[in-house]
Amino acid sequence: MTTPACHNVALVTGAGRGLGFAIATELFKAGYRVAVTDADETRASTAATKLDPSGKEVISLPLNVLQKSDFESALIAVTEKWGGVGVLVNNAALTRTTPVFDISPEEFSEILDVNLRGTFLGCQVFGKAFASLGYGRIINMASLAGQNGGAATGAHYAASKGGIVTLTKVFARDLAANGVTVNAISPGPLDVDLVREILPAEKLAAVTKSIPVGTLGSPSFIGQLVVLLASPAAVSMTGATLDANGGLYVR
């Protein structure tokens, strides 16, 4: 199978800051053209300019993962800019730490919609386009919380991330014959601003102390795992979830 020229074009959701920005950075460093997308258009634009002030190899796009039409518009925009897309990274997510018996039905739906439905829509829109192309790499961001029930995050967040692992398997199975791989990465607690925003200092210290390797995970390393899975050489790896949790969950 011939690798299309657009194999080195990637779109990352929720890339305006944090893990998403780290992923976009590592893809850019690895030679990818990158579409930085975020529900906050200003945040996406600022991040893209920081990566590539020239705007030649990195662009920004507004993308609300709740809207299928936003994924479709982004696909069209990147195709018009660079002739196609070869990689999708479903990273956008909401995190809440609300105690399980305090979660309202509305909050539960909000988290599931952004995290799980957003990933589903991305896989659906880009998966169909990749299948027509005969090539594609989809990387979904899961979480340790989806594997161990979430020690520091809410039940709704944990459930959404567990669902992403399952969706990854579904799309991997359905797209494998079309040259498209679908994998997930499941990080433990990461050294990003969001973690410090949702966890009080004393709780963050306790979480860090509980990690067998003794440190929060590196967002840049997660980005490097994305680069690995995005490679044309990763053709035989699909339906997998890579653990990067510092030894908190071993299987």
Helix and strand counts by DSSP (H, E) for the chain: 10, 7
CA atoms of 154 and 170, how far apart (whole Å): 25
Quick check: is 157 catalytic? Answer: yes
Measure Cα distances from 100 to 57, 64, 104, 152, 158 in Å: 44, 27, 9, 11, 11
CA angle 131, 182, 147 (to 5 degrees): 155
CA atoms of 151 and 149, how far apart (whole Å): 7
CA atoms of 194 and 16, how far apart (whole Å): 12
Torsion 95-64-230-19 (CA) sign: negative
Paired with 44 in beta bridges are none
CA atoms of 9 and 216, how far apart (whole Å): 30
Closest to 169 in 3D by CA, of 240, 76, 224 = 240
Closest to 147 in 3D by CA, of 168, 170, 175 = 168
Among the listed residues 32, 135, 157, 249, the single catalytic one is 157
Provide the annotated active-site residues: 157
